[in-house]
Amino acid sequence: MRSQALPQELIRAKRDGEALSPEAIRELVGGISDGSLSDAQVGALAMAIFLNGMSASETVALTEAVRDSGELLAWGGLGANQDLPGPVLDKHSTGGVGDLVSLVLGPWVAACGGFVPMVSGRGLGHTGGTLDQLESIPGYDIAPSRARFRRLVREAGVAIVGQTAELAPADKRLYAVRDVTATVESLPLIVSSILGKKLACGLDALVMDVKSGSGAFMPTPEKSRELAEAIAEVASRAGTPTTALLTDMSQPLAPCAGNAVEVRQAIALLTGEKRGEESGEKTDGRLMELTRTLAAELLLAGRLAESRSAAVALLDERLASGAAAERFERMVAGLGGPADLLERRDRYLPQAPIVRPVHAERCGRITRMDTRAVGLAVVALGGGRRAPGDAIDHAVGLTGIAALGEAVDGERPLAWVHARSEADAERAAMQLLAAIDVNDVGLGDVTLPTLIQHVIRREAP
C-alpha cells in the first residue's frame, strides 16, 4: 500500500491485514524513535503485527528501519573501510539455561583474527543473561563510552557490552511496549528486535543459536525452526550473511547455571582446566561442542579458514596456546575488571555461603528434564529477576548438574545448590526434584537429544 501521512491510518491498514510499504514502516519506526507515536499507538501497531503477521519483505523493512533508527557502527574488515585488519563477526543466542557460550566464543574468535563487538542482554524469565554473568566480575563496565568500546574491539579483538541509548533506540521502546501488551511472541517483532541491534554493529557475518526444547524461548520445535529460518533469511536480505543453528535446550547446556558459577566455567574452558571431579563438572562435552561449532561457522564466514577442518584446527590451536584466554583477560581488564582474574578468580568472583548436594529420591538414570523449571530454580535463589529492576545475587546458582542419561545415586547427586540460606537451598532442592525424572532404566533406554539439529546458511544478495 502507499504510505499515508497519519500514523493511525498506517496502523489501521496493518490492523486490517494490509501489507505496509518500506516507506510506511520507516515512518512508523521513526515515530517510535522520536516519540511522535504515543505508547497507545505503538501498542496498537504491535498488536496489529502480532495478529496479522508480516511478509518476509515487511519483516526485512522493519528490521532495517530498527537498525537505522540510531547509530550505525562502521568497522571495516571485509567491507569497504579498512579500519580493522579482519572481519567483524558476532553471535547471538535466543537464550537458555547454562548458556555461557558468548563468554568463550567472543575471545576465542578474536584469538583467530576476528573482531567481535558483541552487544548482549540480560536474563529474561528462566534464561540467563551474558551481561548478568559479566557483572559478577568486580568493576566490569557493561556500558563503556563509544570511544572505549571501539578502542577495545580494535586492541583486544572483543568487547561484550550492553545496548547503548544510541544503538537501535526504536527497539528499546518497542520492546518495552511489547512486554506490557502481550505481544512479545510475534515472529516479525522478535526477528526485528534481535537483528536490529546486531546489524547496527556493522557486521560482516552473524551466527545465530536458536534453541529448541523444554528450556527454549519458543514454545515448540516447529516455532524454533520457523524463527531460525526467519532470522537467517531476513538478516541475509538486509545485507549480512547469516548462519542459524537450531540447537537442543532440553537440558542445561553447561553443567552449571547462575552468574559467577558460569564465569568460572568459562574460565575453566578458556584455560583448559578440569574442574573438581567431586562436582561432576567437565570442561568439554555439549558446551564445548556447540561453542566450537558456532566459532567455526564464524571463521568460515569471515574467510579466516578455508575449510571446516582448518577452522577447527585453528580454534583448537588458539585455545591450547592460551591465546583465547589472554583475549578474555584483556577484555575484562579493558572494561574495568581485574587484570589477574584468571589467576585469582576466587578472590574476585562471589561465592554463596551454602553449598549442598541434591540427591534424587531413587537411584537410576535421568530420563527427562524440565529445563525451564531448572532455570526458574536459579531465579528463585536470587540468580535472576522476578521483575525488571530486581537486584541479582551473582553468587548463587547450580553446579555439577547431571546430564540426561546419566546415572545418579547416593554418591552422584542431581546437582549442587549454591544458596544464600538453608531455606533457599531447600526450596531449590524441591524444585530440582520436581523438574528432573529419574527411572531405573539402562542407558540404551534413554533418548539422548541431538545437540545440533539443523543448520541454515544464507548469503547476502
Rg of the chain over all Cα atoms, to the nearest angstrom: 22
Edge to edge, the sheet with strand 436-439 lists 407-408, 364-369, 436-439
* pLDDT tens, residue by residue, 80-139: 445 788 999 999 999 889 999 999 999 999 999 999 999 988 776 787 789 999 999 999
Confidence check: pLDDT of 417 > 70: yes
Q: Determine the pLDDT at residue 80.
A: 40
- What positions carry a catalytic annotation? 90-93, 130, 178, 193, 197-198
The CATH topology of domain 7-53 is 1.20.970
Q: Determine the pLDDT at residue 284.
A: 56
For the chain, the structural domain boundaries read: 7-53, 89-345+452-458, 350-445
CATH of segment(s) 89-345+452-458 = 3.40.1030.10
What average pLDDT does this structure show over 145-166? 91
Q: Determine the pLDDT at residue 388.
A: 64
From the CB of residue 272, how many other CB atoms can be counted at a distance below 10 Å? Answer: 14
Q: Determine the pLDDT at residue 1.
A: 43
Minimum mean pLDDT range among 1-15, 167-181, 398-412, 434-448: 1-15
Q: Label residue 167 by pLDDT band (50, 70, 90).
A: confident
The CATH topology of domain 350-445 is Aldehyde Oxidoreductase; domain 3 (3.90.1170)
Minimum mean pLDDT range among 301-310, 312-321, 327-336, 382-391: 382-391
Confidence check: pLDDT of 298 > 90: yes
Mean pLDDT of the chain: 91
Q: Work out the percent of the chain whose per-residue pLDDT is above 90.
A: 81
* pLDDT tens, residue by residue, 189-210: 999 999 999 999 999 999 999 9
What average pLDDT does this structure show over 17-35? 96
